[in-house]
Amino acid sequence: MILDDLEAVLRSRRDDAPAGSYTAELLADPERIQRKIMEEAFETCLELGRSERSADRTAEEAADLVYHLLVGLVAVDVPLSDVFRVLEERRR
């Protein structure tokens, strides 16, 4: 699954911190991660609220949000599987 693959890449960036890696830079700055999550959530909401939506643009903003949220989760060592477990527990 793409999210599992992405999580693995993000964890490797956290553990190895290659020079020039945007992800490694984010992981070194928790406040920046928070700001990016808020920014991308806002931009996704803007796209969702447009009277004339572009499916492509909305998907791009949602992808940015998911990426930055996953960076935040990796930064605090919360596996995506934990998020899925909570969702599964909430399912009725």
Q: Quick: pLDDT tens for 34-76.
A: 999 999 999 999 999 999 999 999 999 999 999 999 999 999 9
pLDDT at 89: 96
| Element (DSSP H or E) covering residue 20 | none
> What's the CATH number for 2-90?
1.10.287.1080
Domains of the chain, residue spans = 2-90
Burial-class residue 68 by CB neighbours within 10 Å (0-12, 13-18, 19+). buried
| 5-36 pLDDT per residue, tens | 999 999 999 999 999 999 999 999 999 999 99
pTM above 0.75, yes or no: yes
